[in-house]
Amino acid sequence: LFRTEAYRGRQFAGSDESPDIVTGIAGVHFEVKRAETLRLYDALAQAIDDAGDNIPVVLHRQNRKPWVAIVRLDDLPQLAVQLFLTLSERA
């Protein structure tokens, strides 16, 4: 994910210490939804509830479609900073 190592986290635990996927991107909580239909604000609310102090991001994909990332606009600048810091460490 974003050229960082990622692996599945503990499913169904619902906390900032148990994201759907674990990555090397500090301060970001990923909620993964792989479904044909998505209740966007419900998925975002779940990510927010589970994220704790981390930035909540929903990753979603339908069959035969590319992955999309959903993030609150207010969180976008900090997400960009976290991605930049993580990727610059690996360059």
**Residue-wise pLDDT tens digits, 38-85:** 999 999 999 999 999 999 999 999 999 999 999 999 999 999 999 999
Q: Do 55 and 27 meet the contact criterion of CB atoms below 8 Å apart?
A: yes
Give the integer Cα–Cα distance in Å for 38 and 2: 23
Assess if residue 12 is contained within a domain. yes
The boundaries of the domain holding residue 48 are: 6-83
Assess if residue 88 is contained within a domain. no
The pTM for the full model equals: 0.82
Where residue 8 falls among pLDDT bands split at 50, 70, 90?
confident
pLDDT for the residue numbered 11? 59
Assess if residue 75 is contained within a domain. yes
Assess if residue 32 is contained within a domain. yes
Please name the residues in contact with 33: beta carbons below 8 A apart, sequence gap of 6 or more.
43, 58, 59, 60, 61
Give the integer Cα–Cα distance in Å for 83 and 9: 20
Assess if residue 62 is contained within a domain. yes
Structurally, how many domains does the chain consist of? 1
Q: Do 90 and 4 meet the contact criterion of CB atoms below 8 Å apart?
A: yes
Assess if residue 90 is contained within a domain. no
